[in-house]
Amino acid sequence: MPGVNNPPPPITTAAAQQKMAQERREDAGDLRRLVNEAHPPRASDLAELQSLQKTRKDRDDTDTTASLSETLKSKSREAGPRVVVREPKHLYMPQSPRSRAAAEAEQTDLIKEMFHEMGDIGLKPVVVYHNLSVPELYEHALKYEPSSHIVASGALATLSGAKTGRSPKDKRVVREPDSEADIWWGTGSPNYEMDERTFILNRERAVDYLNTLDRLYVFDGYAGWDTQARFKIRVVCARPYHALFMHNMLIRPTEDELHDFGLPDFTIYNGGAFPANRYTSYMTSSTSIDVSLKHKEMVILGTQYAGEMKKGVFSLMNYVLPKMGILSLHSGCNEGKDGDVTLFFGLSGTGKTTLSADPQRPLIGDDEHGWSDRGVFNIEGGCYAKAIGLKQENEPYIFDAIKFGTILENVVFDEETRHVDYDVSAITENTRASYPIEHIENAKIPCVGGHPKNIIMLCCDAFGVLPPVAKLTKEQAMYYFVSGYTAKVAGTEQGVTEPEATFSACFGSAFLMWHPTKYASMLAEKVEKYGAHVWLINTGWTGGPYGVGYRFKLRHTRAIVNAIHSGELGAAEYETMPTFNLQVPKEVSGVPSEVLLPVNCWADTENYNKTLTHLASLFTKNFVKFQDGGGHVTPEEASAILASGPTVE
């Protein structure tokens, strides 16, 4: 309108717009400077930012690298390879900000140096991952092993390769002057001999193979919870799965113990992904598991089944503990609220792991123990439970132990949900779970206890004629201990596809080093000295042999064990079972009386008697090889033991 002072129109020239944009940029720059002054950037690129995620303790690895280099040394060389414990620290966590290009340049220089030195394989630098934590081993397994997966429970499921069980016929023990008189050789022995030269050849083959790899895993741990009978074990392997397995199965050292570990007492070289040379002396296949007591070493070739390492350590302990006056035992062990200890002898599949895991009794261990003048102790730091058919309602402690840190071997799981189907045996019947003993809710740690009050010998009778429980005399205890009758369970060993009757001395013949009567005489001495009661429990079949009868119910077996612990069976009335002359209780709380004597469960009494006599003859025939006493009991003592066995007319 005329006469009204209107505001000037907005400036819209290009120059003015550029000026305003510049002012906004300057304001934004001022804001960024204020933010950066309050929160300065910690990294110049993504690589540096990722390096800030992890911290590493400053540790002096001088002694560790020297020890590892000595372990990896070829026998033909004066010095071992240069060992890098994990990645070089400056590549792992920069001390100051630097560019990715600088980091890559340093790494390139290191790789060039490594390839330059690879002309002599014995001196190739080796990156060794030493005693990695469980999360780190998970990461490595997932990164480097396509067969490794995290399942819904948090456990690590993996495959053991072509071998899904032990290969006992490929086990070799070096015949050496200092130990050959001690070792059980010959008929019935699991110890197939080899000479020292062949052992060195296989060791060199394994070490050369391991030294060609981009990375190795070493775990240093202990065997034996009794500190006066503890041995330092070193495991050198190529797979994170194997390192985690032995992390679970050995006793894990504290940081101070690891720092002072030094050289091991026994070393396992696991080159299982590389075959043995079939044309080498003493080889019968591409698999070889070799033990040298002189060199204090074990070599594994041609099998990636992790159980070979566990049982290799047990074989060692089966030799060295008796020399110390300590009885080594293939047994489970638990302890009651009053400190009463029970041992459970038995082979795989007899229920040793299941029955020793009792919610009312803290677990000392599930598989391997020593019995000294101080009491019993677990040899291992973990458990290796069969997983086939596992159900929470039947075995809650084992089921609940399967969580982060547990290895599940050869199981089948749903591709999407990652839930494991424990009933599926598509890969093998011998599916397994390896976990540290701390995963058992009521484990007793340290894993030591007093002298046993009860000793339970478990068997899995495939013929269906032995009673579910019998009380043994001292002589019968030695007889059934040396006999070690049970049935091989499908999948536990290569080539076994269904249960078959077998005798395994001391309930662990495959792992014995001394003659069985050595262990039996030590057992008899301790039973006598400490007043232990001995029982035979059959967890196998009744009402007929395997394929006709049925297996004893787990709840009935548990009721029998409870009656032993409560003292009920100590005060029970007994009757004698013919032929085997076993004392069988007339009643057990929670168990139908008719199943206590097997003849009552068979529809055909004549066939029962025939089968009973047949099994008795098998016992008698098996014991012939032990009747001379093996140099550890007198012929008279051996005769008394033999007389306590079944009678065959």
Say yes or no to pLDDT of 217 above 70.
Answer: yes
Say yes or no to pLDDT of 49 above 60.
Answer: yes
Mean of pLDDT values over 322-344: 96
Say yes or no to pLDDT of 406 above 60.
Answer: yes
Lowest mean pLDDT among 49-63, 231-245, 253-267, 518-532: 49-63
Return the C-alpha torsion angle 221, 226, 229, 234, nearest 10.
0
> Nearest 5°: phi and psi at 324?
-95, 5
| Burial degree of 136 (CB within 10 A; 0-12, 13-18, 19+) | middle
Which amino acid belongs to residue 599?
V
User: Looking only at Cα atoms, what is the longest distance across the chain?
Assistant: 141
Give the strand pairing for 412-413 and 420-421: antiparallel
Mean of pLDDT values over 303-321: 97
Say yes or no to pLDDT of 388 above 60.
Answer: yes
Residue 546 confidence (pLDDT) = 82
In the 8-state DSSP scheme, what is residue 228? G
Mean of pLDDT values over 272-295: 96
Looking at the chain, the whole-number percentage of residues with pLDDT higher than 90 is 68
426 close to 453: Cβ distance less than 8 angstroms: no
Q: Confidence band (pLDDT; 50, 70, 90) for 489?
A: very low
Distance from C-alpha of 3 to C-alpha of 613, rounded to nearest angstrom: 133
Mean of pLDDT values over 327-348: 94
Q: Confidence band (pLDDT; 50, 70, 90) for 120?
A: very low
Greater pLDDT, 55 or 426: 426
Mean of pLDDT values over 286-314: 97
pLDDT tens track for 6-34: 555 555 566 767 777 777 777 666 666 66
Residue with tokens 């011998």: 430
Say yes or no to pLDDT of 493 above 60.
Answer: no
Say yes or no to pLDDT of 571 above 60.
Answer: yes
Residue 64 confidence (pLDDT) = 84
Structure tokens given for 149: 């997966």
Say yes or no to pLDDT of 492 above 70.
Answer: no
Mean of pLDDT values over 384-388: 92
Greater pLDDT, 160 or 18: 160
Say yes or no to pLDDT of 122 above 50.
Answer: no
Residue 649 confidence (pLDDT) = 73
Q: Confidence band (pLDDT; 50, 70, 90) for 455?
A: very high
380 close to 249: Cβ distance less than 8 angstroms: yes
Structure tokens given for 614: 């047949």
Q: Confidence band (pLDDT; 50, 70, 90) for 76?
A: low
Mean of pLDDT values over 152-167: 96
Residue 6 confidence (pLDDT) = 59
Q: Confidence band (pLDDT; 50, 70, 90) for 107?
A: very low
Lowest mean pLDDT among 98-102, 224-228, 435-439: 98-102
CB contact burial 199-233 (16+ within 10 A = b; e otherwise): bbbbbbbbbebbbeeeebbbbbbbbbbbeebebbb
Q: Confidence band (pLDDT; 50, 70, 90) for 66?
A: confident
158 close to 407: Cβ distance less than 8 angstroms: yes
Q: Which residues partner with 34 through β-bridges? A: none
Lowest mean pLDDT among 94-98, 249-253, 353-357, 405-409: 94-98
Greater pLDDT, 442 or 15: 442
> Nearest 5°: phi and psi at 544?
145, 170
> Nearest 5°: phi and psi at 173?
-120, 130
Q: Confidence band (pLDDT; 50, 70, 90) for 502?
A: confident
pLDDT tens track for 576-627: 999 999 999 999 999 999 999 999 999 999 999 999 999 999 999 999 888 8
Mean of pLDDT values over 443-465: 95
| Highest mean predicted confidence (pLDDT) among 144-153, 497-506, 634-643 | 144-153
User: Taking all residues of the chain, what is their mean pLDDT, rounded to a whole number?
Assistant: 87
Mean of pLDDT values over 444-460: 97
| C-alpha triplet 487, 492, 494: angle, nearest 5° | 110
Residues labelled as active-site residues? 166, 311, 330, 348, 352-353, 367, 432
Looking at the chain, the whole-number percentage of residues with pLDDT higher than 70 is 83
Distance from C-alpha of 425 to C-alpha of 430, rounded to nearest angstrom: 8
Q: Confidence band (pLDDT; 50, 70, 90) for 637?
A: confident
Nearest to 348 by CA among 537, 488, 249, 497: 488
Say yes or no to pLDDT of 102 above 70.
Answer: no
